[in-house]
Amino acid sequence: MVKAIVDVVDIDPKTGTALGLYTFGNERPNVLIASAMDGLSASCVYSSYLLMKHLESLGRVNGSVTLLPVANPLAFRLGTRISPLDSKDLDTLFPGSEHGTVSERIAWEIWRKASQADYVIHLRTGHQACVSHVEAMHRKYIHVRNLASQIGLPLVVQSSGQRGALTTEVAHEGIPVVTIEMRGERSQVEPQAAVQVREAILNFLRIKGILSGESIEVSNTLAGRVQHINVDTEGFFVPIVNPGEDVRRDEAIGQVQDKDPVLSPHEGTIISVSKMNYVFEGDLIARIAPPLVDQWTEKEHEEDRPKPIRRKW
């Protein structure tokens, strides 16, 4: 039975902010798995919990696996994206600052661990109904693409490369890193998605020889940068597609009731789509991962353009 080495890092004793890291094994290579950089869902935390329970049941780990189940403790407790202590989004602050705000110090401590790891996996939960997928800078870095191709999820989308994000900064340092975005909703757990992600990570650890056992061959599709679909009207939006389905350009993905259908301006795979709800002009209703070949055109930077402003009146 492998016993975890627990490392508690005090960030801010006044507010009780601390990071709990659990390391199984003490050799190289080291894999760092971090989740819950915000508090919008617990599915990624549950996946980390399932990984820990599995690692505890093993006789040996040929390397080491470090898990940080909750990277942003106070935001997770309050169910918010940003920290109430400094109003900062943790996954925009890397590499952080040793003497900065609470969120910047959290980023600094995570960065210290990530910069010493051989592989980094960031778990997060999608904020719409989504299909679990890998997000990575696979077009820019071969070491990132090699890691992404060994994660047993069917789709790998190109990361936006936003500076300050953990995966962006770690990739620039030459360390293989991916984000796994999984199904889940606010304050809820999607146990099937958590199990799927756990199995994908365990299979990767077997591929690398960190865990014993036979690995399964991985086959996934590399896609382009995710494109956003926003509505240009107001009303009750009703989707007619599901996450994971392929759509063609100008194909209907839903309808705002009593108005024209909402057409997809892109061809590709539906990454996420809103459930039926009331939408305002400019609201995000779906995300699509286009085929990689499509993004050798000027459309590659479309996601970086300003999004329509949400108007309520």
CATH number at residue 278: 2.40.50.100
The reply to whether 216 and 231 lie within a common domain is no
**Listed residue (250, 255, 258, 249) closest to 231, CA to CA:** 255
Query: Which residue stretches of the chain have pLDDT < 50?
Result: 295-313
The whole-model pTM stands at 0.92
The reply to whether 113 and 157 lie within a common domain is yes
What is the pLDDT, as a whole number, of residue 292? Answer: 86
* Domain end position, chosen among 189, 221, 253: 221
User: CA–CA separation, 233 vs 124, rounded Å?
Assistant: 30
The verdict on residue 36 lying in a domain is yes
The verdict on residue 308 lying in a domain is no
Task: Spell out the residues 6+ positions from residue 213 whose beta carbon is closer than 8 angstroms to its own.
Answer: 206
Q: Which domain holds residue 283?
A: 226-294
The reply to whether 235 and 187 lie within a common domain is no
Distances (CA, A) of 117 to 63, 79, 113, 171, 231: 11, 29, 6, 12, 42
The domain total for the chain is 2
The verdict on residue 273 lying in a domain is yes
The verdict on residue 311 lying in a domain is no
What is the pLDDT, as a whole number, of residue 153? Answer: 96
What is the pLDDT, as a whole number, of residue 1? Answer: 84
The reply to whether 56 and 136 lie within a common domain is yes
The reply to whether 74 and 206 lie within a common domain is yes
The verdict on residue 304 lying in a domain is no
Q: Which two tokens stand for residue 71?
A: 């990277």
Locate tokens 């620039």: which residue? 172
In the chain, DSSP finds a helix count (H) and a strand count (E) of 6, 18
The verdict on residue 303 lying in a domain is no
The reply to whether 148 and 269 lie within a common domain is no
User: CA–CA separation, 244 vs 152, rounded Å?
Assistant: 15
The reply to whether 230 and 119 lie within a common domain is no
The reply to whether 207 and 65 lie within a common domain is yes
What is the pLDDT, as a whole number, of residue 294? Answer: 54
The 10s digit of each residue's pLDDT in 145-155 is 999 999 999 99
The verdict on residue 144 lying in a domain is yes
| 95: CATH | 3.40.630.10
What is the pLDDT, as a whole number, of residue 299? Answer: 45
The reply to whether 95 and 144 lie within a common domain is yes
The reply to whether 148 and 40 lie within a common domain is yes
The reply to whether 189 and 70 lie within a common domain is yes
The reply to whether 131 and 250 lie within a common domain is no
